């Protein structure tokens, strides 16, 4: 049995997702679909890992504003 309530766990999960600094693109793609939080966290971490690999290879990330 957990020592936290369901509401407390949901708030903790929301805090984690907020700390991931979701890009507008990720929010547009997954936020409106009601993606499960665990799946969203995994997708965001995979995207962050990809960005880190690209930066280590010397690639530069260019963001455009639409």
Give the pLDDT means over successive 10-residue stretches in the chain (66 positions).
82 78 70 73 84 87 66
Q: Which tokens sit at 13?
A: 């999960």
**Rounded CA gap, 66 and 50, in Å?**
23
**Which pLDDT score is estimated for 45?**
84
**Which pLDDT score is estimated for 64?**
65
**Which pLDDT score is estimated for 29?**
72
CA dihedral 12, 15, 19, 24 (to 10 degrees): 130
């Amino acid at each position: 049995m957990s020592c936290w309530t369901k509401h407390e766990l949901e708030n903790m999960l929301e805090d984690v997702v907020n700390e991931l600094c979701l890009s507008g693109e990720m929010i547009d793609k997954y936020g409106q679909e009601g993606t499960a939080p665990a799946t969203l966290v995994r997708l965001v971490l995979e995207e962050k890992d990809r960005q880190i690999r690209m930066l280590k290879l010397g690639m530069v990330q260019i963001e455009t504003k639409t």
